[in-house]
């Protein structure tokens, strides 16, 4: 068990739809064909730098609120930034955003912070924008699956 890679999902899910999306990411990441990846899913307020330091890759998830990432995810970054700064350079990551109508401010903000951290964006971020559509769920599942399968295959 000790040699299993660790995939961390830190995602804010304040509504039934966003809970569905986070569960879909988790389901994809835990696909039965992927054996050597251990997946941990945390709400941002329950996650901290120790979780980041212990993982091999990370998926971030947030709503867009008032043109920015959720306060909860921002708080996670506020608490994790300096403890991680010197120790997590190159950490493979991707993210998804649930935005009622935009999402660009949130994307820019996440890219800015993760550029500061020198994390490595290894997969195109997913923007679930506009009125909620069922296809978002499949897209989130795919995001989790690709990230986990890539980690499993040693691609990063």
Q: Which residues bind ligand FMN (CB under 6 A)?
A: 15, 17-18, 63-67, 98-103, 132
Separation between Cα atoms, residue 14 and residue 110, nearest integer Å: 19
Give the residue nearest to ligand FMN (CB): 100
Q: Shortest distance, CB of residue 16 to ligand FMN, whole angstroms? A: 6
Q: Which is nearer to ligand FMN, 18 or 148 (CB)?
A: 18
Task: Classify the C-alpha dihedral 150-152-155-156 as positive or negative.
Answer: positive
The candidate with the shortest Cα–Cα distance to 41, out of 152, 153, 147, 155, is: 147
Asked if residue 92 lies in contact with residue 124, where contact means CB atoms within 8 angstroms, the answer is no
The Cβ of residue 28 has, within 10 Å, a number of other Cβ atoms equal to 24
Q: Which is nearer to ligand FMN, 20 or 122 (CB)?
A: 20
Q: Shortest distance, CB of residue 36 to ligand FMN, whole angstroms? A: 33
Q: Shortest distance, CB of residue 133 to ligand FMN, whole angstroms? A: 9
């Amino acid at each position: 068990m000790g040699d299993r890679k660790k995939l961390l999902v830190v995602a804010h899910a304040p509504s039934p739809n966003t809970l569905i999306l986070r569960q879909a990411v988790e389901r994809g990441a835990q696909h039965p064909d992927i054996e050597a990846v251990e997946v941990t899913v945390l709400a941002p307020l329950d996650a901290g730098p120790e979780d980041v330091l212990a993982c091999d890759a990370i998926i971030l998830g947030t709503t867009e609120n008032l043109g920015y990432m959720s306060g909860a995810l921002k708080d996670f970054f506020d608490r994790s930034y300096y403890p991680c700064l010197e120790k997590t350079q190159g950490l493979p990551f991707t993210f998804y955003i649930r935005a009622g109508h935009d999402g660009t401010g949130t994307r820019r903000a996440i890219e800015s912070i993760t550029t500061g951290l020198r994390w490595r964006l290894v997969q195109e971020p997913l923007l679930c924008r506009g009125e909620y559509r069922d296809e978002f769920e499949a897209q989130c599942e795919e995001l989790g699956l690709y990230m986990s399968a890539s980690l499993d295959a040693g691609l990063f």
